[in-house]
C-alpha cells in the first residue's frame, strides 16, 4: 500500500526522532531451513519498532499504512541478537514516517552487521482520545542497558485481559540474557533469580518495556538487574510491573564454569 500524499515535514524533525533501540534474540523457531531469521519475522521486528515509536509520538492507536525502500543486505543467524534502530523522518498531525534499520550482533564476538532497512508510514486512528504529548523513549547513554519492548496481544493474557506471568518471565529473562552475553562475550547460562513480585498488571494493547543491566561481576558469574514497565499507548503513563535480579554463569562447550574476561577486553 503506497502513501498517496507525502507527510508534512516538521520544522525540526530531529527533535521528533526520539531515537531508541529494540533488541531481540533469534531463536530456532524464527528461522528457516538455512538457520537464519525469516524475512517476514525481520520485517515484523521493524514494524513493531515503528508501531511503538509512532504510538508514543502520536498517542493514538496506529496502523501500518505503507512500507517502502526495503533492502535485505545480509541474513541474521540463529543465536545472534537482532537490534532495530531508527528515527522519525517526517511527521504530520495523524501520521509519521519512520526510517528503521535491523542490525545483527554476534553475542560471542560483538561483531555487528547491517542486515535490513526500510521506511514505514504509520497512521493514527480517528476518534482516539489523545493525551498530551510526552517525551519519547530515549536511548540510554550507557549501551550496556538493554531494552526489550513487546506489545501485549490477546493470546498472551488470561480471561481478564491481563498478561500471563510466564510471558513476563520470558521477556525479563531474554533482556537479562542479552545484557549478560554482551558483558561476558562467552556462552552464559541462567543459574538463579531473586524474589519477583508483580505489583501492577500489563493489559491487552499495552507496550511492555523490559530493561536489563549487569550490576555485579564475580569470577565466573554476574548479576543482571531487570525491571518491567507497561504503558497504554494513548495515555502514555508508565507503571512498574515488576523487577528482579538474575545470576548467569559463563560456561565452556562442556557446560563447566569458566572465568569471565576483564571488562576492558569486552565490547558493548
Please report which residue ranges of 108-243 form alpha helices under DSSP H: 165-184
What pLDDT is stored for residue 57 in this prediction? 87
Residue from 188, 159, 176 nearest 228 by CA: 176
- List, for residues 175-230, the tens digit of each pLDDT value: 999 999 999 999 999 999 998 999 999 999 999 999 999 999 999 999 999 999 99
The b/e string for 174-206 (b: 16+ C-beta within 10 A; e otherwise) is bbbbbbbbbbbbbbbeeeebeebeeeebbeebb
Tell me the DSSP string of 168-204: HHHHHHHHHHHHHHHHH-S-EEEEEE------S--BT
What pLDDT is stored for residue 265 in this prediction? 56
Rounded Cα distance, 149 and 204, in Å: 14
In the predicted structure, residue 139 carries a pLDDT above the cut 60: no
CA distances from 216 to 8, 158, 213, 252 (A): 48, 36, 9, 21
Average pLDDT of span 136-158: 76
- Whole-structure pTM value: 0.81
89, three cell numbers: 523522518
- List, for residues 54-85, the tens digit of each pLDDT value: 988 888 889 999 999 999 999 999 999 999 99
What pLDDT is stored for residue 258 in this prediction? 96
193, three cell numbers: 533469580
* Domains of the chain with CATH codes: 13-124 (3.10.129.10), 146-265 (3.10.129.10)
- List, for residues 150-180, the tens digit of each pLDDT value: 899 999 999 999 999 999 999 999 999 999 9
Instruction: Specify the 3-state DSSP secondary structure of 76.
Output: coil
Amino acid at each position: 500500500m503506497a502513501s498517496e500524499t507525502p507527510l508534512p515535514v516538521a520544522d525540526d524533525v530531529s527533535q521528533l526522532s526520539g531515537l531508541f533501540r529494540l533488541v531481540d534474540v533469534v531463536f530456532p523457531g524464527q528461522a528457516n531451513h538455512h538457520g537464519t531469521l525469516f524475512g517476514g519475522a525481520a520485517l515484523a521486528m521493524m514494524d513493531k519498532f515503528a508501531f511503538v515509536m509512532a504510538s508514543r509520538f502520536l498517542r493514538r492507536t496506529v496502523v501500518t499504512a505503507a512500507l517502502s525502500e526495503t533492502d535485505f543486505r545480509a541474513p541474521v543467524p540463529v543465536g545472534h541478537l537482532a537490534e532495530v534502530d531508527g528515527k522519525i523522518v517526517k511527521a504530520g498531525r495523524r501520521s509519521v514516517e519512520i526510517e528503521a534499520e535491523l542490525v545483527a550482533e554476534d553475542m560471542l564476538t560483538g561483531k555487528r552487521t547491517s542486515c535490513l532497512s526500510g521506511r514505514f508510514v504509520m497512521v493514527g486512528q480517528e476518534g482516539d482520545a489523545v493525551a498530551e504529548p510526552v517525551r519519547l523513549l530515549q536511548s540510554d547513554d550507557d549501551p550496556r542497558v538493554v531494552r526489550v519492548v513487546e506489545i501485549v496481544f490477546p493470546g498472551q493474557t488470561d480471561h481478564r485481559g491481563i498478561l500471563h506471568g510466564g510471558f513476563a518471565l520470558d521477556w525479563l529473562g531474554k533482556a537479562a540474557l542479552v545484557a549478560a552475553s554482551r558483558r561476558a562475550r562467552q556462552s552464559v547460562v541462567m543459574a538463579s533469580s531473586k524474589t519477583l513480585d508483580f505489583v501492577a498488571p500489563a493489559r491487552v494493547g499495552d507496550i511492555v518495556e523490559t530493561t536489563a543491566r549487569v550490576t555485579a561481576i564475580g569470577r565466573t558469574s554476574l548479576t543482571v538487574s531487570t525491571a518491567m514497565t507497561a504503558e497504554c499507548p494513548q495515555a502514555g503513563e508508565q507503571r512498574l510491573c515488576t523487577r528482579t535480579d538474575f545470576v548467569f554463569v559463563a560456561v565452556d562447550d562442556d557446560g563447566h564454569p569458566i572465568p569471565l574476561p576483564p571488562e576492558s577486553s569486552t565490547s558493548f
